[in-house]
Amino acid sequence: MITVNNKEKLDWHEGMTVQDVVDRMGYVLSIITVSVNGQLVPKEDYATYEIPDNAEVNVFHLAHGG
Amino acid sequence: MATKTKAGPTKYEISINGKAATVVEDTYLLKAVMDAGFNVPTLCNHKDLTPEGTCRLCLCEVEINGKKKLVTACNYPIRGEIKVNTNTEKIKKHRKNLAEMYLGRWPNVEAIQNIAKLCGATDKEKYKSDITDENPKACILCGHCVRACSSFVLQNILGFAGRGITRHLTMPFGETDPHCIECTSCGYVCPTGAIQVTDDMNNPADPELIRRHGMRINAMMAMLDDEQNRMRQVGTANLVEVMDSYDLLPVHNYKFGRHKDTPKIDSGVMKSRYFTQGAADGCWVGCSMACAKAVDGFELKTGPYKGQKVVVDGPEYETAAGGSNMGGFDLDFIVEFNFYCDTYGVDTISFATTMAFVMECFEAGIISEEQTGGKKLNFGAMNEALECLHEMALGEGFGVDVGQGIRRLKEKWANELGADPGFLNDIGMEVKGLEFSEYVTKESPAQQAGYALAIKGPQHDEALLIFFDAINNQIPTYEDKAEALYYFPLFRTWFGLLGLCKLIWNDVVPPDNSKYPPNEATKIPERVEDFQKFYEGMLGEPLDEKKMLRQSERVFNLQRLISYYLGYGTRADDMPPLRAIGPATEEEYLSREERYDKQMKEEIGIDPEGKTTGEKLAITRDFRYKRYNELIDAVYKKRGWDNNGVPTVEHLKEIGIDIPEVLTLLDKPNI
Ligand code: SF4
Ligand code: SF4
Ligand code: FES
């Protein structure tokens, strides 16, 4: 089980990547930043960065629009 | 080995002068070389401009599958496992020769002298000729200015003409082009001082400071916008798909937050089939974001201009989302209603939100064809919605009613038709008599208060907190939310005080913004600094956050007092309709049953098991209003207002507006 943004619980599976979480949660890639257990993950690593079980994942989508 | 997965970018293992490096596909070779710690001389390259590869100084040798070739590193995108050599004998010779040619032509320009040094070129005489220019500030034809003019401010004032030794800038030095907007971007990027900037416009205290920060924004816009919000390409319309994916796009009078037909009205369709100008369009010439868009040659299908081809300014996000709110998932309809609202002087948001309310009332049987003049006003009745708009403008038929807006319609239908005022109040999306703008606020307490507390009515101008709250869960406690509801309305009001645009502040974000803790990151500190420096550069007076907020706080409190004086400024006026804070009907509850049941269990502490939908709806309603009231208690306190939402005399004193004229506003409420 992993926690996203201190709120959402997602089932963990072996080999789960940041990209999986982003897809699952419907995050839109334009201006989000992702950290796993406090470690910032660069955008180009989303597909390969594996999330450990019990991780705290934070995904921040910056506000935009008027 | 190349690593590629379905969604991520490809990476390559490359070697640079024997040193291994991993790079993301399409990284320019020059960047990879520099990152690996090697230096390569450059002249035409500039960190804030798209490379063109014209000076040929950055030549490097690239080996692919055993084959070697020379490439200009600055504009060579890496697309394979390559071996790179930055300094072969051949390259050294080439660079030296090139540098000698530059030196022969512009012997006294410092930038050239530096390059010559780097390339081991010392002979100034070798290529001396008729075209040798002794001026230390000569133009070296690097092209930075030409590219900055087009990519920073989307102008094309500068260009090159001629070839070889006759190549020159099209705008001769010492002359001005009447179309030049004098933004000074060209002067900023010029490495030699060939372009001189004269700063006498409006007598700023420190023009250099303004320029430094302005250029920082221009450069960021030019380099990052395409991969961030694409404001230049599609403007705020990019939010249509973003909001739909987060279940926050208003659909059918805010009942739902997403719809299967959203792809028919998203920014992709607008870009490919509607926006015609193929260029960014600014509110004023020279805006580096230029997010306004237009549809040209649009043939109208209804109304007084039926059959004519017109130019339509927009649609913006709010207008497109107004379409989904009415169930109108068709851009022809959205563009048409956009045009006629503009033409009639009607706000697209108020019209769409009112119409969505009317449609729900029609479907709920509160009104029928008898009231609507025979129009079947179900969700998605686009032609009928347009008919209402035309009638509204003519002052005829049912359009006259629609034109009254939601607050008056609720009263009218309760009085005249005996409709249940409770239901009308629950689903009528207005506060203080103004219709909601187009975001679904149900899952974001901070945005609920951001809307309902807003002085001029429920719009996000004061506090657009939906991302921080509903999506990021970044402001979880009442205190966090209250702090955000204190800071953002004041910060955003500040733009109004100065007459500045907010989009430049939060629609392009520095790549390293994530280095700040989340609550700071939301403010985009680097951009706030830019705005503070604009102020300082113009007026000569430094500005920090405290001072900035205080400036706004005085105006903000005065506005609230005026609102109070006019009968719109107390707690009762800050109450949102049920639909804004949670599900208002059983249909709505059931559409997200899992979510609401889960919240009932986890947040309210009541087991939903065995309860009817009606019971669950009532429990959710009570909980959410209670939570809302607690939140605004915290906000009022933080803002220095009393329990009724009225600024206290002590607070007015503290912010220095306790003058008699202001204090009288407190004495005479509800005229
Ligand atoms: S001042 Fe601005 S608009 Fe004028 S030529 Fe320079 S970059 Fe272009
Ligand atoms: S004027 Fe300056 S920026 Fe423009 S081409 Fe010449 S040297 Fe380069
Ligand atoms: S820096 Fe001029 S060609 Fe690369």
Nearest ligand 1 atom to the CA of B180 is 4
Closest CA to B503 of B268, B272, B288: B288
Q: Which of A40-49, B15-24, B194-203, B294-303 has the lowest mean pLDDT?
A: B194-203
CB contact under 8 A, B474 and A60: yes
Q: What is the model's pLDDT at position B510?
A: 85
Q: Which residue has better confidence, B234 or B349? A: B349
CATH architecture of B445-666: Orthogonal Bundle (1.10)
Find the CB nearest A5 among B317, B464, B472: B472
Amino acid, res. B481: K
Kindly state whether residue A27 falls inside one of the protein's structural domains: yes
Degrees, nearest 5: CA angle B471-B474-B475: 115
Q: What are phi and psi of A62, to 5 degrees?
A: -70, 150
The pLDDT assigned to B345 comes to: 97
State the DSSP H helix or E strand holding residue B70, giving kind and residue range, or none if neither. strand B67-72
Ligand 3 pocket, B72 CB below 6 A?
A: yes
Residues of B near A (CB-CB distance < 8 A)?
Answer: 3, 5-9, 11, 24, 227-230, 236, 238-239, 241-242, 245-247, 317-318, 460-461, 464-468, 471-474, 476, 502-503, 506-507, 509, 513-514, 518, 521-522, 524
d(CA B169, CA B175): 12
Instruction: From chain A, pick out residues whose CB is under 8 angstroms from the CB of B468.
Output: 63
Number of independent structural domains in chain A:
1
Within chain B, which residue ranges are assigned CATH 1.10.569.10?
Answer: 231-416
Q: Indicate whether A65 pLDDT > 70.
A: no
With bands split at pLDDT 50, 70 and 90, how would you rate the model's confidence at B199? low
Mean pLDDT of B329-353: 97
Strand partners, B161: B168
pLDDT for position B2: 43
Please report the pLDDT score of residue B200 as a whole number: 66
Task: State the maximum Cα–Cα separation within chain B, in Å, rounded to a whole number.
Answer: 98
The full DSSP string for B346-409 is: --HHHHHHHHHHHHHHHHTTSS-HHHHTS----TT-HHHHHHHHHHHHHT-HHHHHHTTHHHHH
Q: How far from the centroid of its chain's Cα atoms is residue B221's Cα?
A: 11
Over 60: is that where the pLDDT of B5 sits?
no
Residue B263's pLDDT is what?
Answer: 96
Average pLDDT, chain B: 91
Q: Which residue has the higher pLDDT, A43 or B421?
A: B421
| Strand stretches in chain A, DSSP E | 2-4, 8-10, 32-36, 39-41, 56-61
Alpha carbons B292 and B5: distance in angstroms, whole number? 37
Alpha-carbon dihedral B416, B422, B425, B428, rounded to 10 degrees: -80
Nearest C-alpha neighbor of B363 from the set B337, B381, B388, B387: B381
Amino acid at B94: H
Reduced to 3 states (helix: H, G, I; strand: E, B; else coil), residue B81 is coil
Model confidence at B3: pLDDT above 50: no
**For position B668, what pLDDT does the model report?**
65
pLDDT of res. A66: 60
A contacts of B11 (beta carbons < 8 Å):
44
More confident residue, B220 or B277: B220
Domain B139-197 of CATH type 3.30.70.20: yes
Nearest to B566 by CA among B453, B657, B455: B455
* Band of residue B509 on the pLDDT scale cut at 50, 70, 90: confident
Q: Which band of pLDDT confidence, cut at 50, 70 and 90, is reported for residue B554?
A: very high
**ipTM of this predicted structure:** 0.79
What is the percent of chain B where pLDDT is above 90? Answer: 70
Instruction: List all residues of chain A from 6 to 65 with a beta carbon under 8 Å from chain B.
Output: 6-7, 17, 19, 23, 26-28, 30-31, 33, 35, 40, 43-48, 58-65
Test site for ligand 3: of B54, B71, B112, most ligand atoms within 8 A of the Cβ: B54
Residues 6+ apart with CB under 8 A from B626: none
- Packed helices B525-539 and B545-565: angle between N→C axes, nearest 10 degrees: 90
User: Of the ranges A50-54, B24-28, B501-505, B663-667, which one carries the lowest mean pLDDT score?
Assistant: B501-505
B57 Cβ below 6 A of ligand 3 = yes
> Average pLDDT in the B123-150 region?
93
B58 lines ligand 3 (CB under 6 A): yes
CATH number of residue A7's parent domain: 3.10.20.30
Residue A34: domain span: 2-61
Q: Do B8 and A19 lie within an 8 Å CB cutoff?
A: yes
CATH of B231-416, one of 3.40.50.10490, 3.40.50.1100, 1.10.10.10, 1.10.569.10: 1.10.569.10
A63 band by pLDDT with thresholds 50, 70 and 90:
low
pLDDT of residue B608: 94
Confidence band of B234 (pLDDT split at 50, 70, 90): confident
CATH architecture designation of domain B2-87? Roll (3.10)
Tell me: pLDDT of A37 over 90. Answer: no
Q: Is the separation of the CB atoms in A38 and A3 below 8 Å? A: no
Q: How confident is the model over B344-365, as a mean pLDDT?
A: 98
Instruction: Provide mean pLDDT across the span B235-262.
Output: 92
**Ligand 3 centroid, distance to B74 Cα (angstroms):** 5
Does A66 reside within a domain?
no
* Sequence ranges of chain B with CATH classification 1.10.599.10: 445-666
pLDDT value, residue B190: 95
Give the per-residue pLDDT at B6. 44
